[in-house]
Amino acid sequence: MAQRDMVWVVDDDPAIRKLLSFILESAGFEVEPFASGAEVLATAAPLPAAIVLDLMMPGVDGVAVLKELARRSPEVPVVVLTAVNEVSRAVEVIKLGAYDYLVKPVDEQRFVATIRRAVSVNRLEREVERLRGELGERFHLKNIVGSSPAMRRVYDQIGKVLDSDITVFISGESGTGKELVAKAIHYGSRRAEGPFVDVNCAAIPEGLQESELFGHEKGAFTGASAAHPGKFEQANGGTILLDEVGEMTPSTQARLLRVLQERTVQRIGGTRRIDLDVRVISASNRDLAELVRQGKFRQDLYYRLVVFPIALPPLRERREDIPALITHFLEKHARDAGRRVSRVAPDAMERLMAYRWPGNVRELETVVHRALLVCDGSEIRADDLPPELGGENLSEPGDGDDRFLSLEEMERRTIRRAVEVCGGNLSVAARKLGIGRSTLYRKMEQYGIEAPRGGRRQGGTDGSDPSRAG
């Protein structure tokens, strides 16, 4: 039997207490009655889902009770009951934090509907707090795996920016964990209670970048049937991550520069300037300095974004972290596999340690997850690993020039493999690779890679994947 929501009824009139309790119990609530304000403030009972509070009571009146409840537990909604000639005072208590007020004698249907809404709001707020706590724990700095010297330098840099709002730029190859670092900065800062808005700039069609980032008013352009707050407005009070910032169009770069300079935003088609309180973190797997030299990225915007740079090392430069990462991913995906696997056979570990990991941590996670699903026992063996881990990409400098692969060749092979594995669905392939579709199209053209016949290019406009490492 489902547990019923508790509602406190606080009224000095026994008849009203009994009536309201009966109405609420008939509606499926559990009720605890209180005969005075002093009595409710003295109770040590667990907090209810909502409180019904009479405004006029002898001794400690409703206003005093409301003020104290707002101080102790502002999350609990309070519905105030008042007489007709006290409506103006009831409006004042709304300003003190009351959820709503009802005039006596109460209409039964309206009374029950109001309490249901109050309880629903309370339940939603508690769920939001729970999820926020889980997010904060999930993306806490301690959950970034690795103890190599390269990662210790990254931790040190993250620690230096937590107590300030300095603009951060995170660089690193695809799959190194840029989004994870951005979230660790957000959830470890004073902005942790605010929103974290992740924008994949490469995944937004060029013609919609400004609208998505800065918003638009109704009628601003064809198809703008309603006003739309942009990502910067949505991030107010929190943090915005501009991922793949190097893929912005020149006009979007110019508008972003103005937003960063003035700390205000003006929607497309609007005249009002909206104040912003947003921490900006940007990230890219491309060399922004080189894009500036090529004239593809504004130098003045570069200096606005790259204020505190954090460079993430590729996995091949911190191989000592691979065993710890494998253990982490085995635990993370144990539920999906329906069993726990705690061991990796020596021959499998040798391959995992020797592989160059062009897809970095994201690729390692994918390989471990797959191996966890296909292995038969409690140990991952070499046969459980993808065939590409067995040969061509195992080389290291010094193994012989005939086996050494350039970064360009590794990227070409990785993209070709992703397109094949995803059946030619370029939207899915782009998400798996952690890049935008436009970037994937450009790379495929650069390397002469064609999608398999019948392959699909369609997909969502945001190109986001909540599981990607960044």
Q: For residue 233, is it within any domain?
A: yes
Mean pLDDT of 225-249: 93
pLDDT band at 200 (very low <50, low <70, confident <90, very high): very high
Number of domains in the chain: 3
Q: For residue 457, is it within any domain?
A: no
Q: For residue 89, is it within any domain?
A: yes
Residue 416 confidence (pLDDT) above 90: no
Q: For residue 125, is it within any domain?
A: yes
Could you tell me if 346 and 379 lie in one domain? Answer: yes
Strand order in the sheet with 168-171: 196-200, 239-243, 279-284, 168-171, 308-311
Q: For residue 433, is it within any domain?
A: yes
pLDDT at 431: 79
Q: For residue 460, is it within any domain?
A: no
pLDDT band at 11 (very low <50, low <70, confident <90, very high): very high
- Lowest model confidence (mean pLDDT) among 60-74, 101-115, 233-247: 60-74
Distance CA 107, CA 175 (A): 59
Could you tell me if 290 and 424 lie in one domain? Answer: no
pLDDT band at 460 (very low <50, low <70, confident <90, very high): very low
pLDDT band at 283 (very low <50, low <70, confident <90, very high): very high
Strand 343-344 and strand 379-380: the pairing is parallel
Residue 14 confidence (pLDDT) above 90: yes
Could you tell me if 155 and 293 lie in one domain? Answer: yes
| Domain end (from 266, 288, 313) | 313
Q: How does pLDDT run across 167-179, given as a tens digit for each residue?
A: 999 999 999 999 9
Q: Tokens for 181?
A: 């670092």
Report how far Cα 47 is from the mean position of its chain's Cα atoms.
Answer: 30
Could you tell me if 245 and 392 lie in one domain? Answer: no
Could you tell me if 425 and 328 lie in one domain? Answer: yes
- Asked whether 123 and 7 are in contact (CB, 8 A), the reply is no
Q: Tokens for 399?
A: 């193994």
Mean pLDDT of 376-383: 88
pLDDT at 407: 62
Could you tell me if 308 and 323 lie in one domain? Answer: no
Distance CA 237, CA 149 (A): 34
Q: How does pLDDT run across 70-123, given as a tens digit for each residue?
A: 888 888 999 998 876 666 776 777 878 889 888 888 899 999 999 999 998 888
pLDDT at 254: 96
Calculate Rg over the CA atoms of the chain. Answer: 29
Q: For residue 351, is it within any domain?
A: yes
Could you tell me if 237 and 260 lie in one domain? Answer: yes
pLDDT band at 231 (very low <50, low <70, confident <90, very high): very high
DSSP state of 268: B
pLDDT at 132: 54
Could you tell me if 441 and 330 lie in one domain? Answer: yes
> What DSSP letter does each residue of 133-196 carry, written as one string?
HHHHHHTSGGGS---SHHHHHHHHHHHHHTTS---EEEE--TTS-HHHHHHHHHHTSTTTTS-E
pLDDT band at 142 (very low <50, low <70, confident <90, very high): low
Owner of token pair 């304000």? 37
| Domain end (from 80, 103, 134) | 134
Could you tell me if 161 and 292 lie in one domain? Answer: yes
C-alpha neighbours within 13 Å on the C-beta side of residue 126: 14
C-alpha neighbours within 13 Å on the C-beta side of residue 43: 16
pLDDT at 406: 56
Could you tell me if 121 and 259 lie in one domain? Answer: no
Mean pLDDT of 181-207: 91
Q: For residue 452, is it within any domain?
A: no
Distance CA 296, CA 302 (A): 11
Owner of token pair 């499998």? 348
pLDDT at 48: 93
Mean pLDDT of 9-28: 94
Q: How does pLDDT run across 340-375, given as a tens digit for each residue?
A: 888 899 989 989 998 999 999 999 999 999 998 888
pLDDT band at 3 (very low <50, low <70, confident <90, very high): low
Q: Which percentage of the chain shows pLDDT scores above 90?
A: 49
| Domain end (from 276, 291, 313) | 313
Distance CA 169, CA 245 (A): 10
pTM: 0.59
Query: 345 versus 132: which is more confidently predicted?
Result: 345
Mean pLDDT of 242-253: 96
pLDDT band at 428 (very low <50, low <70, confident <90, very high): confident
CATH number at residue 181: 3.40.50.300
Residue ranges making up the domain that contains 420: 316-447
The highest-confidence range among 127-136, 277-286, 412-421, by mean pLDDT, is 277-286
Q: Which residues contact 439 (CB under 8 A, 6 or more apart)?
A: 202, 244, 247, 430
Distance CA 7, CA 25 (A): 9
Residue 451 confidence (pLDDT) above 90: no
CATH number at residue 108: 3.40.50.2300
CATH number at residue 328: 1.10.8.60
Could you tell me if 259 and 271 lie in one domain? Answer: yes
Q: What are φ and ψ of residue 258, in 5° steps?
A: -65, -40
Nearest CA-CA partner of 55 in 76, 81, 77, 29 = 81
Residue 463 confidence (pLDDT) above 60: no
Could you tell me if 343 and 382 lie in one domain? Answer: yes
pLDDT at 196: 94
pLDDT at 56: 86
